[in-house]
A = this chain, B = another copy of it.
């Protein structure tokens, strides 16, 4: 029952990759769900016709669940976010977000200009009460279970109180999207002891003890990939967006490097594919901008059709689990808990 607006013009390979990904998502989703392709109607129709007459002909039955929403403008990948929000209200990105604010759509997905998507989401969807900033979670594949790391890039400097906010909204994300019960939250730090770390992290440690989350204490870099620390299972790791972004990009490069090394040693591609497929980021689609009142899924600029497909599926899951509503409720509980 989710209506997902997809920025058909966003990303390095749009609109081919976005239209193709939309059709592939519909083929895998429950028939109750539909997609709004937002962008230049002529370009979108042309791609649709080409794909349905060619490589995706077998998906023609899903065409009826696609609505094309015309948007005259496109936000450029290098455009300044504030300029895009103010100057391009009729862009595929801003119109796609507006559909949700108007109650005509349930979620938004884009592989376009990330800064513009963040700014537009803040202005058009607005933040939940109890938050000073949104956050972007990233799901880190591990040998045990995927672990959510947030913030992974929206905020370069964070206060202790903001790290607590990330713990609250990251917990809801782990419950609604990763289906964890009572998710364990770790604070990323350089040692286990509460007195370790810089001033912000030390203060956050104290605040998290009484923040209404399942706080498991500090986690170190190694604990992320273990999915646990000495106190138990870790589902959510909280850190500022500088550290989170560096870690994310570092980790993205690990699998390609390992694959190169192993192929040099004569390991077969089949063995590799089987072993490492759980480390493939494309499995996890886009990342939601957590904290806004609605669903705004940020995809990588280089998204393939498969990545777009998984981004749409991520939006459906966020809508169906009512994640945004749960975040709003959790934050009001957190605020009252702190006041009590």
Contact = CB atoms under 8 A, between A and B. Distances in A.
Interface of A: 142-143, 153, 156-157, 188, 190, 197-199, 201, 220-222, 224-226, 239, 241-243, 245-254, 257-258, 260-262, 264-267, 271-272, 274-276, 278-279
A157 B242 CA distance: 13
A246 B265 CA distance: 30
A246 B221 contact: yes
Nearest to A276: B261
B265 A248 contact: no
Number of copies: 2
Contact of A221 (B157, B224, B251, B260): B251
Nearest to A252: B222
A327 B248 CA distance: 33
Contacts of A243: 242-243, 246
A242 B199 contact: no
A116 to B, nearest CB: 15
A222 B199 contact: no
A214 to B, nearest CB: 22
Contact of A250 (B224, B262, B271, B274): B224
